[in-house]
Amino acid sequence: MRLLELPTPCLVLDRSILERNLAVMSAIVRRHGVAFRPHMKTAKSAEIARLAVAGEAGGIAVSTLAEAEYFGASGFLDITLAVGITPERLDRAAALVARGMELTLITDDPNTAAAIAAHPAPFRALIEIDSGEGRGGVNANSGALLVLGRALGPRLAGVLTHGGHSYAGRSIPEMQRIAEQERSAVVSAAWALRAAFFPCEVVSLGSTPTAMHARKLDGVTEVRAGVYMFNDLFQAEIHSCSRADIAMTVLSSVIGRRPGDNQVLLDAGAIALSKDRSTQSTAHDAGYGLVWGLDGTPRYSECRIESLYQEHGIARGNRPLPFDELKVGTKVRIAPNHACLTAAAYDRYHVVSGTDEVSVIWERVNGW
Amino acid sequence: MRLLELPTPCLVLDRSILERNLAVMSAIVRRHGVAFRPHMKTAKSAEIARLAVAGEAGGIAVSTLAEAEYFGASGFLDITLAVGITPERLDRAAALVARGMELTLITDDPNTAAAIAAHPAPFRALIEIDSGEGRGGVNANSGALLVLGRALGPRLAGVLTHGGHSYAGRSIPEMQRIAEQERSAVVSAAWALRAAFFPCEVVSLGSTPTAMHARKLDGVTEVRAGVYMFNDLFQAEIHSCSRADIAMTVLSSVIGRRPGDNQVLLDAGAIALSKDRSTQSTAHDAGYGLVWGLDGTPRYSECRIESLYQEHGIARGNRPLPFDELKVGTKVRIAPNHACLTAAAYDRYHVVSGTDEVSVIWERVNGW
């Protein structure tokens, strides 16, 4: 099947770019001599997970129990659920452990830690550390760390942080500084636990920008990253990749033309693309996404999606668009601002390798 | 089953509010003596469509071919696909006609109109008119109208417009003015066609705000609206409803607490809520949504979601939050900015009627 034959909107994944992205991150992390645990929250596909762990220890991270169940059913038995668990979810998580999964949970809450310790299932648990993002996690130097260690008892396996504030960085030196903040926070927490005679085998950190730019990872045992597999316009702006490293695009059809306004109307709207506007705060605001040719190149110069409705996107060129080519029905590919959110609207990838021939369809898991 | 027992995040739909919203819109449109064609793009559920057409002629509007196929399989045989069709999609659409559906397409493109006319399937087609939104459609006074009429030939059934620029209105007089703009544009187009001896049986318009506030609908044969079924924070801001008329909320669990910052972390993130920020341009910016109690009331005063990550939302109260009540695992309900986009992340509704008892689950169709 060729891209021209696909119903739109749908996802196109270029396997050659995907594999290059996987190889780059793997090599970067391996250089530090630490384990790599791909985070599957972006790709949510067993086929992609198998490629991502090739040559690695085999463990993955996920963001929902639905992902843990899906990847467990696909044979992944070393999974870290890297979003804070609640006591109400432990029974559902325990069903995975009962089927042989080594499931690692994270928490920053003493009641939840006590519930994990009291649960019959032999979960492994990491204490979530806030390394500067201010989202989840306790401070590495706070007394809360030891309270959590005591509450988890024999379930305690280590510490985990996510330097998500790297998304606010705009230069490589900033990313290096944030990566060191992420590292020093989680390593400090590990040593604070060990100094109080708690075990702390796992020292886990990661985000695509910090994994990419960390200068040293001393004291760290594993790195997590997810969006690096696909990359997107925002990651290109924050120096995680170049635009040529964007592996996933949305195939879309022209459904209207306004030559007088140098605009085309596309069938990729707010559901198909997400309303993520992350590039707005960067040097190159891409609107809601950039319109590329069917061949995946920016052949329409800089044509960006300026308005988004539920099922319509309005794209405008910064130079005159070739309206003789852009007819109703013409297919284009849209590079997204934020691959994780764009992918979430779809249940499959149409996989190509540099050409317009779809070699295979890979499914993805959604929901919770 | 009770709401407390549901895995989160998930959708909760209050049937008593839904039915009130349906009755209000139906009465408002019936007052004008024109037919009502509920637009199912928001609800995407056969059960809700059956409630929405009760007492009406029975036709519905949809926004994708996937919806047309789903509703067709559920017995709806009078469907208007109210997004511009492409020639490539006609064969797929024709399969519905072959199974007995009266399928009405819309177009503003001469090549597409010719393809519709040349196709063996007896589609009905409406010419899309731009009544001021500047998205799709031709101007009512332009020569393009007659070109399209000629190209469609015997397939021509009328004209259609969507006064989507009503979303930029902020007062009832503005909505009345935009509703009249919508009406006069589509009625002018109808008369221009008739003056040239083209048939124009259908004169269709609609958006929730203009349907709600139109003072007269002379010359119009049918009204379409969709989001009025659920309503949302944005519709409340633009005078389509009050906040008490919001029928659909997202059930979410607290997964973290920051009493020092008066914040809770929720498991409803950017996928669960969408990144729609439409209330930002209104008098009451609701962030990414408002956190209500499990009972669906704003018991946490004004607690709004200020930051959104893939699977995390950070909510902050404008008064001190009751942290003795808001523990990790506590469930809350989130009122969304834009119901259409929020609902798109889910495949079902958990239906309640004023209480916390889930009486039934209704499925919804997603994708294209």
Give the residue-averaged pLDDT of B84-98. Answer: 98
- % of chain B exceeding 70 in pLDDT: 99
- The Cα angle at residue A194 between residues A188 and A195, in degrees rounded to 5: 85
- Residue B281 is predicted with a pLDDT of 96
- Tell me the one-letter amino acid at B188: S
Q: Give CA B214 to chain center in angstroms.
A: 18
Among the partner residues A8, A257, A367, nearest to B347 by beta-carbon distance: A367
Contact B60, B222 (CB under 8 A): no
Residue A56 pLDDT more than 80? no
- Work out the pLDDT band at B58, boundaries 50, 70, 90: confident
What backbone torsions phi and psi does residue B256 show, to the nearest 5 degrees?
-170, 160
> What is the residue-averaged pLDDT of chain A?
97
Tokens representing residue B145 in the block: 């109208």
Look at A64 and B311 and tell me if their CB atoms are within 8 Å: yes
Residue B324 per-residue DSSP state: T
**Set of chain B residues whose Cβ sits within 8 Å of the Cβ of A307:** 135
Give the residue-averaged pLDDT of B35-45. Answer: 97
- Residue A220 is predicted with a pLDDT of 98
What backbone torsions phi and psi does residue B128 show, to the nearest 5 degrees?
-80, 130
Residue B112, chain A, CB below 8 Å: the answer is: yes
Count Cβ atoms within 10 A of the Cβ of residue A51 and give its class: 0-12 exposed, 13-18 middle, 19 or more buried.
Answer: middle
d(CA A14, CA A356): 10
Q: Give every CB contact of residue B41 below 8 A, 6+ residues apart in sequence.
A: A310, A311, B61, B62, B63, B64, B67, B82, B226, B340
Q: 3-class SS at B79?
A: strand
Q: 3-class SS at A186?
A: helix
Q: Which of B296, B315, B241 is nearest to B24 (CA)?
A: B241
Per residue in A230-277, pLDDT tens?
A: 999 999 999 999 999 999 999 999 999 999 999 999 999 999 999 999
Give the residue-averaged pLDDT of B163-185. Answer: 97
Per residue in A115-144, pLDDT tens?
A: 999 999 999 999 999 999 999 999 999 999
Give me the DSSP letters along B99-146: TT-EEEEEE--HHHHHHHHHSSS--EEEEEE-SSS-SS-B-TTSTHHH
Residues 138-197 of B with CB under 8 A from A: 164
Among the partner residues B41, B109, B310, nearest to A256 by beta-carbon distance: B109
- Residue B56 is predicted with a pLDDT of 72
- pTM greater than 0.90: yes
> ipTM score of the complex?
0.97
d(CA B251, CA B2): 12
- Residue A297 is predicted with a pLDDT of 94
Interface test with B, best of A135, A263, A346 (most B CBs within 10 A): A135
What angle separates helix B144-152 from helix B172-195, to the nearest 10 degrees?
60
> What is the residue-averaged pLDDT of chain B?
97
Interface test with B, best of A64, A253, A342, A361 (most B CBs within 10 A): A64
Per residue in B190-237, pLDDT tens?
A: 999 999 999 999 999 999 999 999 999 999 999 999 999 999 999 999
d(CA A146, CA A196): 8
- Residue A58 is predicted with a pLDDT of 75
Residue B7 pLDDT more than 80? yes
Residue A55 pLDDT more than 80? no
Q: 3-class SS at A176?
A: helix
Q: How many CA atoms lie less than 13 Å away from B55 in the CB half-sphere? A: 12
